[in-house]
Amino acid sequence: MVRAWSHTRLVSFLSIEFNLETLRKLAERGISVDEVTEVFQTTPVVWIENPNPRADESRWVIGPTRMGRFLTIVVDRDGSDHGRWHVMTAWDSTEPQVRLYRNAR
């Protein structure tokens, strides 16, 4: 189980799922599934409401990989299993996103 902090609220990520479209997007950005998984292994990761949501339950998860690469990952909560989240896309975190992560910790 992975726990994430959003200000004072704790969220559990029991499982994360990847579909083929997500895998394509990650590959285009040079991001591996392992790197995304590593971010979720950082305890706690920081998550915020998605400022540009395409899905109502989507969030940004921000955190470092084991090698220190910061990623911002868009996840969407599974409607039937609230511990399961679907990875929609990810990118290298911008400086403001890294600051947000550091300030929230």
Q: Would you list the domain boundaries of the chain? A: 2-104
Q: For the whole model, what pTM was predicted?
A: 0.82
Parallel, antiparallel, or unpaired: how do β-strands 58-64 and 9-13 relate?
unpaired
Per-residue pLDDT of the chain (105 residues; tens, 9 = 90+): 444 444 434 455 668 889 999 999 999 999 999 999 999 887 667 778 777 777 777 888 999 999 999 999 999 887 776 667 899 999 999 999 999 888 886
Neighbours of 57 (CB within 10 A): 15
Domain 2-104 matching CATH 3.40.50.300: the answer reads: no
Q: Residue 35's closest CA among 73, 78, 88, 84?
A: 73
Can you read off the two tokens belonging to residue 99? 């600051």
Name the amino acid, one letter, at 65. T
Task: Enter the tokens of residue 93.
Answer: 């975190």
Query: Are 60 and 72 spatial neighbours (Cβ–Cβ below 8 Å)?
Result: yes
- For residue 100, give the H/E element and its range: helix 95-104
